[in-house]
Amino acid sequence: MTTPTKLFLAAIVVVVCVGASWFAFSQPPAPPTVEPVGLPIAPVHVPTQTVVAPLPEKTAIGKTTAKDGSIPSDATALIYKAPTDRSLDMQLFDKAVLYMMDVQEADGHIDSNRTGAAQEFRNRNNDIILTSVGAWIMMGSSSAANPNPEAVGRARKAIRWLEAQTQSDGTVGDVDGPGESALAQLLAADAFRLAVSYSTRDSLRQETSRLNSVALRKMGSKNGGFGTRANSDEPSADMIALASFVFKFAGYDGFKFDAVTTENKTDGKTAFPIEDEIIGNLKAGLKRLDSLADKSGAVFAEKSGGPSDWRSTVCGMQGVFMINPSRATVTPALNFVFGDFDKATESYPRVLEHVRWGKNGEGFDALSLWQGSIAVVYMFTEDKYESKTWIGNLRKILVDHQGPDGSWAVAGEDAKRGRAWRTGLNAMTLALIAPPPPPPAPPADDVPPNTQPKAAVPVPGTTGTKRERDQ
């Protein structure tokens, strides 16, 4: 199967899997049902103790957090019991979703002030960032075969809160205020894109179109590409990669990016002038960060004119791949990221050097590792040494360092946005790299085939498991 076909299937698999859940997202949430502890009611198991009475607006839902954003004593993850045959990756994912649900406020948002963000990042834009990521993984925890009404209801509350932060012109949050307004716009736009799959509201699709149009056409940096703030002086590779991801999947879902313009859809030269404009801006940002280490322009610097940078090349590689999904376009980036193969250890030491967890979690950047995982998963099968090195090392880190409350401690690059940021991004990565679920058991002699239980099919927001994509 070709790579473009894989990407197309990745874009539509979530629609197929969540089709049966749209009603729960379009309508007021049903009263919570009580399930016995240990009964697998969805990909994410939600025990009885998570059922709470209605709380006043702006009141946290049941869980007190410490200064660093952790939940000291009563985290739902502490009483989580994995469903039968749940992979280790998805057990970690489940507990991460439970953490995000534990820290969600009654009005639907996730508060940067309560989840350990740095003081300068405790603002509305960062709340939008965290709420968008939270909504994304909550929606990704439910499928048609294994619906999770509690998580979908929580995601609905998050989307409703995000809608309240959206202006009529399609901007979300405070464009000129403190925080990372472009990052907030991009993540909110993609969360809305996924929410459309759960809803019959035409107004939600229209709003999603506006958010995506603004994100990709009004939030760029002054020198091409995207920075974390609207009209940033310079682009960054991780933001270009995120924008390319939002652009690619919004396009697959039929959004045209013309909600903020009155110009004609065609200029007579191309059938897709707006799409070409967006691609041109993404390419301009990548060119701005070209370290000139390779004539292909696929090895990137952290800042314009700087030396080749490993993290920036990981992110830029995903950006290039989304714009032009062919192996040849990113081979120089792959060579730089992986370095030389060590036959003795059957691994790539350069990856092991950079994908690491420092003493307190420094040296680990959740966004770039999610973006790198996208490229690795699509370009290498599980038996390749590149995949074994990247995914095997990353998986070990996530297993070893997840806290009892389902979250991960923060330090380094992730510390500014807080514990919910790293936890949400790690959950997205886990759902991406998780092995496929086991096949259904063969039918018993005395049981009709159509009554056999179905294996859980975890859906990571936009992608599905790898084997699903390869089919």
pLDDT at 259: 83
- Which two tokens mark 348? 């790539």
Using one digit for the tens of pLDDT, what is the confidence trace for 377-390?
988 988 899 999 99
Cα separation, 459 vs 351, whole angstroms: 27
pLDDT at 210: 94
Rounded mean pLDDT of the chain? 81
pLDDT at 27: 40
Question: What DSSP assignment string belongs to 296-323?
Answer: TS-SBBSSTT--B-HHHHHHHHHHHHHH
Long-range contacts of 14-18 (CB under 8 A, 24+ apart): 14/140, 14/194, 14/197, 14/459, 14/461, 14/462, 14/463, 14/464, 15/197, 15/253, 16/144, 17/143, 17/144, 17/145, 17/457, 17/459, 17/464, 18/139, 18/142, 18/143, 18/144, 18/197, 18/198, 18/459
The contacts of residue 199 (CB under 8 Å, 6+ apart) are: 22, 25, 26, 205
Using one digit for the tens of pLDDT, what is the confidence trace for 284-312?
999 999 999 988 889 999 999 999 999 99
Q: How far apart are the first and last CA of the chain?
A: 8
pLDDT at 271: 53
CATH number at residue 168: 1.50.10.20
Cα separation, 96 vs 420, whole angstroms: 9
Cα separation, 232 vs 223, whole angstroms: 8
pLDDT category at 409 given cuts 50, 70, 90 is very high
Using the predicted structure, report yes or no on whether residue 5 has a pLDDT greater than 70: no
Domain annotation covers residue 362: yes
Domain annotation covers residue 128: yes
Beta bridge partners of 17: none
pLDDT category at 249 given cuts 50, 70, 90 is very high
Residues of the domain holding 392? 3-29+85-260+277-438+460-470
Using one digit for the tens of pLDDT, what is the confidence trace for 150-207?
999 999 999 999 999 999 899 998 898 899 999 999 999 999 999 998 888 889 999 9
Burial state string for 80-99 with b = 16 or more CB within 10 A and e = fewer than 16: beebeebbebbbbbbbbbbb
pLDDT at 224: 96
Residue type for position 447: V
Domain annotation covers residue 249: yes
* Residue whose C-alpha is closest to residue 25's, from 195, 247, 252: 195
Cα separation, 139 vs 194, whole angstroms: 8
pLDDT more than 70, % of the chain: 76
Domain annotation covers residue 207: yes
CB of 151 closer than 8 Å to CB of 139: yes
pLDDT at 441: 61
Using one digit for the tens of pLDDT, what is the confidence trace for 107-136?
999 999 999 999 999 999 999 999 999 999
Cα separation, 349 vs 135, whole angstroms: 36
CB of 378 closer than 8 Å to CB of 321: yes
CB of 217 closer than 8 Å to CB of 172: no
Domain annotation covers residue 108: yes
The half-sphere exposure of 24 on its side-chain side, counting CA atoms within 13 A, is 21
The half-sphere exposure of 97 on its side-chain side, counting CA atoms within 13 A, is 36
3-state helix, strand, coil in the chain (%, to 5): 50, 5, 45
Cα separation, 218 vs 395, whole angstroms: 37
pLDDT at 30: 38
Distances from the Cα of 286 to the Cα of 116, 279, 328, 364, angstroms = 32, 11, 17, 23
pLDDT at 20: 32
- Which two tokens mark 60? 């946290």
Tally of structural domains, the chain: 1
Rounded to an integer, the average pLDDT of 235-254 is: 95
Using one digit for the tens of pLDDT, what is the confidence trace for 14-27?
333 333 333 334 44
Domain annotation covers residue 315: yes
